[in-house]
A and B are shown apart, each in its own frame.
Chain A
Amino acid sequence: EAQVTQNPRYLITVTGKKLTVTCSQNMNHEYMSWYRQDPGLGLRQIYYSMNVEVTDKGDVPEGYKVSRKEKRNFPLILESPSPNQTSLYFCASSKLAGDSGANVLTFGAGSRLTVL
């Protein structure tokens, strides 16, 4: 089954304790992206990657890191989490837009993170 898998689905942590949210896709997609969802703000892009070793900041990158060492994996790293990073996080992937523009983002199931 074609899918994007995120782990963990739920996490409660404390301020300053480093954590990683993993994301893996099995569709050989070049493009991967992380979003956070907050009430009243919709989904906002944190980071994205257009291929292996190619990553770039989205709209709200502060406090986050990512890496893309393999095509299928795109982990989100919170080096020193703070309470304002309490949110619902989504990983998504797609083929590159290119000339067809027919790509559609496939989302993971979401990861609910609480930072105390």
Chain B
Amino acid sequence: AQTVTQSQPEMSVQEAETVTLSCTYDTSENNYYLFWYKQPPSRQMILVIRQEAYKQQNATENRFSVNFQKAAKSFSLKISDSQLGDTAMYFCAFRGRNTDKLIFGTGTRLQVFP
């Protein structure tokens, strides 16, 4: 069975600095999708970034980028130039290539300080 592990329950960063959130996963599949979701205090689940396992290039979305290491089954999220609005819970998630179920990690609570 696939699992997703986020080993950092909480992290903090100063505004304008860079922070990296870690995520590892376990799967026997070769093709799959990985996601990072942001959950601000409003509780809304917001898709931050998505990576397709068959693409070697790391995905980027503005200040958000990932470091996807397929062999190591690692999928970290880097937030550059952190902003106060980045304060949120961040969830890493996995989905198999031909399945619909999203498997989540336990989340990392990020606090951005002024």
Chain B binder among A64-72, A73-81, A99-107: A99-107
Interface of chain A residues 17 through 72 with chain B (CB within 8 A): 31, 33, 35, 40-45, 48, 50, 58
B102 touches A97 (CB 8 A): no
Closest 5 CB pairs of A and B: A107-B45, A42-B104, A42-B106, A43-B104, A110-B43
Point out the residues of chain B lying under 8 angstroms from A105, CB to CB: 102
Overall SS of chain B's interface: loop
Name the B residues within 8 Å of A44 (CB-CB). Answer: 104
Interface residues of B in 56-114 (CB under 8 A from A): 91, 95-102, 104-107
| Given A31-B100, A101-B33, A88:B43 Cβ within 8 A | yes
Once the chains bind, are A42 and B107 in contact (CB under 8 Å)?
yes
CB distance from B53 to the nearest CB of A (A): 10
